[in-house]
Structures are given as C-alpha cells and as structure tokens.
Structure 1
C-alpha cells in the first residue's frame, strides 16, 4: 500500500491505485483524481460514479458494465441506446477500471473491464 496526496488529504491506495478506505471518498477526491488523469467530469460521469458507489455500498462488489448500462443507461444516453462502448468513452483511461478508481471503490470487477 502507498499513500497519496489527493484533494489536500493523505489517502491510502492499494497496488492497483484504488482507495483502501471506501469512506475516505468524496466528490473533491473524485474531482482531483479526474483532473490528474486529464478528465473533466460531466453530469453523466457523476451519474456513473454515484451509481457505482451506491451499488458497491449495497452489494460489496462493483457492478459489471452490463449492470450499469441496464440500470442507468437511459440517463447516460437519451437519444440512442447506451452501449458498453459509450460507457467506456466516458472513462477513456481504462473504462470501468477508471470509473471504479474515481468512484473510490477499493476494487473493480476485473472480469468485465
């Protein structure tokens, strides 16, 4: 494990660069991490991040992209069906791995990323 200065706080990260403490996350942390990765978070990004956190809080595991698309796909893409490709385009530096990292999840669902 390592420690990183994120949003003015020292936060512990695991080997994959994910937050160790789920409760240490807030929107400032996500914003700072996204800026470090060159990503400007839009409302669609926040919907995905909020869904990831809510799902993880309930199920103690991250959702697969398919679950994300089924649950909130219509909120992400109103005029055309939301696809995995669309979801990955929101997070171009790793798809769901990047989304899980920005959402402060301590792990990601690697079989679907």
Structure 2
C-alpha cells in the first residue's frame, strides 16, 4: 500500500489518515485547503462530532445522527437538512467530512 504524507502524517493511497490518533487541527486545515475549503465554525462542529462519535462507537454517525445531534449548532435559524450538511462539504459530503476529520476510509463509505 502506497503511503503519502501531509503535514507530517501518513495517508493511505486514497488520502485518508492512516492512524486516527495522528489527527490534529493543522492536518484538518491542510486537508481542507487541498480541497478548496475554508473551515468555518460549522465545519469544526461537524468535524468534532464525527471524531467524538467515532472514538466512542468506532463507526461514523449517519447524516441523520449528525443532524439530530448537532443540527441546531450547524444552522440555528432554519432546520438543518442533509442538503445543508452536504453543502458544508461539497466534494463528497460525509466522505469528505470523514476524511478531514481523520476517520479511516473503510468506515466512511456509508456515511
């Protein structure tokens, strides 16, 4: 398996972090910048939730779980929808969010 490095961390050939515990904010910023994203507070809330949920359950949450759990933190004045959540990460939705959050790629396909 080919390993790449970004911000001193090893990524697999699909561009996902090889070790969950190697993640930090600098890596997230670097990965997001490579994908043309400027991370806002809403992005960071989603990323933090994904990481916390994965650390507890060892699987990523579904978009529905994300929306039910932190939807009001993402969009306060209008109901948060899957479309809104995916608009935060426009190049792959939950997969892109999982990648930036440092979750393993084999868990993020159904997210």
The reply to whether TM is greater than 0.5 is yes
Corresponding residue for 2:27?
A: 29
Which structure has greater helix proportion? 2
TM (normalized to structure 1)? 0.91
Provide, for residues 4-36 of structure 1, a one-character-per-residue CA deviation record: whole Å limited to 9, x for no partner. Answer: 2312x1x33234321120001000000000001
Aligned pairs for 1:1-113 within 5 A: 1-7=1-7, 9=8, 11-107=9-105, 108-112=107-111
Provide, for residues 58-92 of structure 1, a one-character-per-residue CA deviation record: whole Å limited to 9, x for no partner. Answer: 00001110000000000001110000000000000
Instruction: Show structure 1 runs of 5+ residues with no match.
Output: none
Q: Within 2, Cα distance between the matches of 1:28 and 1:41?
A: 11
Q: Within 1, Cα distance between the matches of 2:44 and 2:80?
A: 16
Instruction: Show structure 2 runs of 5+ residues with no match.
Output: none
Q: Within 1, Cα distance between the matches of 2:61 and 2:24?
A: 19
SS of 1:99's partner is: helix
Aligned length in residues: 110
RMSD of the TM alignment (CA)? Answer: 1.3
Range 65-74 or range 100-109, more displaced = 100-109
SS of 1:2's partner is: coil
TM (normalized to structure 2)? 0.92
Q: Within 1, Cα distance between the matches of 2:110 and 2:34?
A: 26
- Tell me, yes or no, if the aligned pair for 2:3 and 2:13 is still in contact at 8 Å: no
